[in-house]
Amino acid sequence: MRKIPLCIPYTGQEEKDAVCEVIDSGWYAHGPKNHEFEERFAEYLGVKHAFTMNSCTSALHLAVEGLGITGEVILPSFTFVASANAVITGGAKPVFADISYDTCNIDPASIERMISPQTEAIMPVHYGGQSADMTAIMEIAEKHKLIVIEDSAETIGGTHNGRLTGTFDIGCFSFYPTKNLTTGEGGMLTTNDDQLALKVKALLAHGIDKSTYEREDKEKAWYRSASRIGYNFRMSNILAAIGVEQLKKLPEMNRMRRDLATRLTEALAEIPEVEAPVERPENKHVYQMYTVRIKEGLDRDEFVRSLNNKGIGASIHFFPPVHYMPPYSGQDFRRDNLSVTEEVIREIITLPMYPQMAADDLAYMVDSIRNTVSELR
């Protein structure tokens, strides 16, 4: 039976050579490749500061803590739990907003409804490769004097009105293997705020202001006093080397994803029970995930199981939503009427998506979807 996994990282000899170069150098921990990756990433986005970290979760945490947010942060419940976890571990309190049905991104109208005197920030989660409505969100933020922390884990290279996600205020990115750019594990925080940059740089490395690499040529390289209490959220030099090579490929990888999504959408148009994803005209979708909706009364869970039995690595993102999870399901956290979220979680399916998917694999996946519809109808 043919096997089509949910995702395959797009890597080649360049990443292997970069890792070998670092191993041969003997500098395994945070080092020169981190600085190169940070500089190249900041240049790509057009921002002043970028900091490599061990995960996007750490970046979100440090955005909250570094900005001194202790009140409420509005975010969607339809997200991976890491978003809400980072709000709490960073010292604030999550408030859950509903999403827009077409994009599964946070609904600006729901954000407005959930603003209270305790609200300090908005955390839009750019879902699956498509930007949230940042025009409306930034207007709300300006109106109410709120900070915006973009969870751009799933949307590296996506744009809203020509502007890259992660550049509207504070950007947080993930380099997990399923993402458009991967280092295996890893993340990045970006900002134009010089004061936040100083705090983040120290917080991610035990509260020490300068890294080992930056101290190497100093007269007292061993002097490493902490200026504040911090964490070990660093990315290794080995992983950063992979990131440098992946960033070079990012525009081409995103182009390949978009081409694949176009072909898949055209093929699925012949199957009325399956609704393809929507790309809003003001956005450039980079399809970190390709999510469809199952209509006409078909059992969504049976649909996924049937595809899995045919070798298709389909999944569901995200179930359960955060407000269903025991730590967040009680009365301690405010939430809007999440009616759209409740509808989406009954319908949505994530199909395999990776740049190098072969044409015959795509055809097999579409045939399998068509056959599954016939079986469950």
Tens digit of each residue's pLDDT, the chain (377 residues): 899 999 999 999 999 999 999 999 999 999 999 999 999 999 999 999 999 999 999 999 999 999 999 999 999 999 999 999 999 999 999 999 999 999 999 999 999 999 999 999 999 999 999 999 999 999 999 999 999 999 999 999 999 999 999 999 999 999 999 999 999 999 999 999 999 999 999 999 999 987 666 555 566 666 678 889 999 999 999 999 999 999 999 999 999 999 999 999 999 999 999 999 999 999 999 999 999 999 878 999 999 999 999 999 999 999 999 999 999 998 899 999 999 999 999 999 999 999 999 999 999 999 999 999 999 98
d(CA 321, CA 284) in angstroms, rounded, equals 25
Q: Where in the chain is the domain with CATH 3.90.1150.10?
A: 251-376
pLDDT at residue 230 in the model: 96
Indicate the DSSP class of residue 299: -
pLDDT at residue 375 in the model: 95
Helix (H, G, I), strand (E, B), or coil: what is residue 75?
strand
Q: Where in the chain is the domain with CATH 3.40.640.10?
A: 13-248
Single-letter amino acid code for the residue at 43: E
Within 10 angstroms of residue 326's Cβ, the number of other Cβ atoms is: 6
State the distance between the two ends of the chain, measured CA to CA, in whole angstroms. Answer: 24
* Cα dihedral 357, 358, 361, 367 sign: positive
Place of tokens 């269903």: 324
- CATH hierarchy code of domain 251-376: 3.90.1150.10
pLDDT at residue 224 in the model: 75
d(CA 286, CA 172) in angstroms, rounded, equals 16
Single-letter amino acid code for the residue at 2: R
Place of tokens 């969607």: 76
Contact predicate 45/156, CB 8 Å: no
Give the pair of three-digit tokens for residue 142: 């300006």
Contact predicate 203/182, CB 8 Å: no
pLDDT at residue 186 in the model: 98
pTM exceeding 0.85: yes
- CATH hierarchy code of domain 13-248: 3.40.640.10
| Alpha helix segments (H runs only) across the chain | 13-25, 32-45, 56-66, 81-89, 108-114, 134-144, 194-203, 212-215, 237-268, 300-309, 339-347, 359-376
